[in-house]
């Protein structure tokens, strides 16, 4: 299997965590999401990965090089300007001369999941579709892209963030696709184009067969603070057995790097991840906190639902709730 991973977005909703790191390189429980994704894809049988990079592009080359550390053949393609999720796929495949090389797996780079892409690949091979979209059920579709399909799983409609009560289905796009060359040919050769807004509607209008593949694997978009904390929580609480945590576990879901200094009087309420060089002062209270490296939380500070980028200092007695700080 060969995959294009979309990693070129600005990650605006996760700022300031994404001011200096592209979103796919943000650490989840002490390790970059991208490293977790590459390991999973290798485990599932992917051998060739193309990273479609743009924002802070050079960091991907520095971190992953040719992919050999992950047992992958990795190529990195940088767009001259952001081309959108569809434009980026077409550009990356044109640059690597793979536009006509058979089906291609395409993945969003900001999803923590244990979804098995081999199942999606096989499902695609069993249909005559030009595209197969991984979908999953959610109770509330209003924040997502809905994919509505018939009993044969053929897709007949897309809805972006439908108002409550107006959704055509309870299945949403979960950020993994297989495209045949015939679908890729519908993406304009030049300019900005999005998969959801441009490619899928144009395929539907042309009556090209698109299929949905429904799965129930864990899947969490890390693109907002709530999503980022939820993804960390899943790994820290051991809900994804294949995903390691890098640190010592002090209590269920409370993790810290071996060199973190934590006052015995500090109160740590799971999930907690404190990276290398973090310091937590006396009587500080932390609940659902992810701190990267060298973060100092002074005495009696109180933090709830907080993500802290490296080198942040929280002053004594400060109260912080529901914020990402950098
Ligand atoms: P926000 O700015 O917060 O909306 O995030 P984003 O644009 O970084 O991510 P979004 O969730 O909208 O996009 C889904 C995936 O596509 C992410 O992994 C992005 O990195 C990637 N992506 C979005 N736009 C582009 C683009 O123009 N080029 C490339 N190469 N990747 C993109």
- pLDDT tens digits, one per residue of 158-206: 999 999 899 999 999 999 999 999 999 999 988 999 999 999 999 999 9
- pLDDT tens digits, one per residue of 216-253: 999 999 999 999 999 999 999 999 999 999 899 999 99
Whole-number percent of the chain with pLDDT over 90: 97
- pLDDT tens digits, one per residue of 317-326: 999 999 999 9
From residue 182, alpha-carbon distances to 103, 105, 206 in Å are: 9, 14, 12
Examine the pLDDT at 272 and tell me if it is beyond 90. Answer: yes
Residue 117 has what pLDDT? 98
Mean pLDDT value across residues 81-88: 96
The alpha helices in 206-278, defined as continuous H runs, are: 225-236
Mean pLDDT value across residues 67-75: 98
Mean pLDDT value across residues 34-49: 98
Examine the pLDDT at 315 and tell me if it is beyond 90. Answer: yes
For residues 108 and 222, what is the distance between their CA atoms, to the nearest angstrom? Answer: 11
Helices (H) and strands (E) in the chain, counts: 7, 23
Strand-strand pairing, 254-256 and 248-251: antiparallel
Q: How many residues does the chain have?
A: 326
| Ligand 1 neighbour 12 (Cβ under 6 A) | yes
**pTM beyond 0.85, yes or no:** yes
CA of 106 to the centre of ligand 1 (A): 13
Residue 8 has what pLDDT? 96
* Tokens 């949905």, located at residue: 212
Residue 37 tokens read as 């994704």
Mean pLDDT value across residues 278-307: 98
What is residue 160's three-state secondary structure?
Answer: strand
- pLDDT tens digits, one per residue of 139-160: 999 999 999 999 999 999 999 9
Residue 128 has what pLDDT? 87
pLDDT level of residue 281 (50, 70, 90 thresholds): very high
Residue 190 has what pLDDT? 87
Mean pLDDT value across residues 284-311: 98
- Ligand 1: nearest atom to the Cα of 10: 8
CA of 160 to the centre of ligand 1 (A): 16
Residue 290 has what pLDDT? 98
Q: What is the dihedral of CA 220, 222, 226, 229, to 10 degrees?
A: 90
Work out the mean pLDDT of the chain and round it to a whole number: 97
Burial label, 129 (beta-carbon count in 10 A; 0-12, 13-18, 19+): buried
Residue 215 has what pLDDT? 97
Mean pLDDT value across residues 274-289: 98
- Ligand 1: nearest atom to the Cα of 7: 20
CA of 3 to the centre of ligand 1 (A): 16
DSSP assignment of 276-288: TT-EE-TT-EEEE
Residue 77 has what pLDDT? 98
pLDDT level of residue 4 (50, 70, 90 thresholds): very high
Query: Hey, which of 85, 143, 227, 231 would you mutate to test ligand 1's pocket, going by the most ligand atoms within 8 Å of its Cβ?
Result: 85
* Tokens 């550009």, located at residue: 91
Domains, in order of start, for the chain: 2-221 (3.90.550.10), 250-325 (2.160.10.10)
């Amino acid at each position: 299997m060969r995959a294009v991973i979309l990693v070129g977005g600005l990650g605006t909703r996760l700022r300031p965590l994404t001011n200096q790191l592209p979103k796919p390189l943000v650490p989840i429980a002490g390790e970059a999401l991208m490293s977790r994704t590459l390991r999973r894809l290798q485990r599932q049988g992917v051998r060739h990965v193309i990273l479609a990079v743009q924002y802070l592009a050079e960091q991907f080359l520095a971190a992953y090089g040719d992919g050999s550390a992950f047992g992958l053949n990795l190529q990195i393609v940088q767009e001259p300007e952001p081309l959108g999720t569809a434009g980026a796929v077409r550009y990356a495949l044109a640059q690597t001369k793979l536009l006509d090389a058979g089906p291609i797996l395409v993945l969003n780079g900001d999803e923590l999941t244990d979804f098995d892409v081999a199942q999606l690949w096989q499902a695609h091979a069993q249909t005559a579709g030009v595209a197969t979209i991984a979908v999953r059920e959610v109770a509330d579709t209003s924040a997502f892209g809905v994919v509505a399909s018939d009993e044969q799983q053929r897709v007949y409609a897309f809805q972006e963030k439908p108002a409550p009560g107006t959704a055509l289905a309870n299945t949403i796009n979960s950020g993994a696709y297989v495209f045949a060359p015939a679908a890729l040919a519908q993406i304009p050769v030049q300019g900005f184009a999005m998969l959801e807004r441009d490619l899928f509607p144009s395929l539907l209008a042309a009556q090209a067969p698109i299929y949905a593949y429904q799965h129930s694997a864990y899947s969490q978009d890390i693109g907002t603070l709530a999503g980022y904390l939820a993804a960390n929580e899943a790994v820290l609480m051991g809900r994804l057995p294949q995903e390691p945590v890098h640190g010592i576990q002090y209590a269920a879901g409370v993790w810290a790097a071996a060199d973190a200094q934590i006052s015995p009087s500090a109160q740590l309420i799971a999930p907690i991840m404190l990276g290398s060089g973090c310091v937590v002062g006396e009587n500080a209270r932390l609940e659902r906190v992810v701190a990267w490296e060298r973060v100092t939380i002074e005495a009696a500070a109180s933090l709830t639902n907080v993500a802290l980028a490296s080198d942040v200092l929280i002053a004594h007695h400060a109260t912080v709730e529901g914020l990402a700080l950098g």
